[in-house]
Amino acid sequence: MTVRGFSRTSVRHHGYVAVEPTYPFVPRSNRLLRPGQFWAIPLSDGRFAAGRVMAVPAFGPVDRTGVVVGLVDWVGEGSPTEADIAGRPVLVQAKARFEAITMTGGEVLGVRPLEVDGLVAMDPHAFHGGAVHHKVWGGRTIAQYAERAFVQG
């Protein structure tokens, strides 16, 4: 039996049993978010950009809201598919809350492992003597970056 966003399939994840998501789903925390998942970001000109989940969690080991998100170098006439984002780089990434997905595109559409595209997430927990300054975005910041990259050019 499947309930939207959840499946009966489960795996061991950090010492507890985690439910694996079914697609599409609307995240209500970062619990079902996995690196490589992607979502559509509607643009003001009617086209779509794509966001990717880069790392989870973003704000410490017990964090239930944080995620590292990235803006994919892709724009299209419809929502992105796995094939659309294949091999595409990420233009920028930052820490955010899961609402960066729900406030910009609404639902996670699928997953494509980051490794197959040669993508590496920023390490949200690595601070090297204060030299690393991580970006932390509000819920709509990724959509603002997408507008500047793909609409305003």
- Greater model confidence, 89 or 139: 89
The pLDDT score that the predictor gives to residue 3 is 45
Residue that the structure tokens 């789903």 belong to: 25
d(CA 135, CA 85): 23
- Residue ranges of domains in the chain: 24-151
d(CA 38, CA 50): 7
Against a cut of 0.95, is the pTM above it? no
Answer whether residue 9 shows pLDDT above 60.
no
- Please state the rounded mean pLDDT for residues 73-98: 96
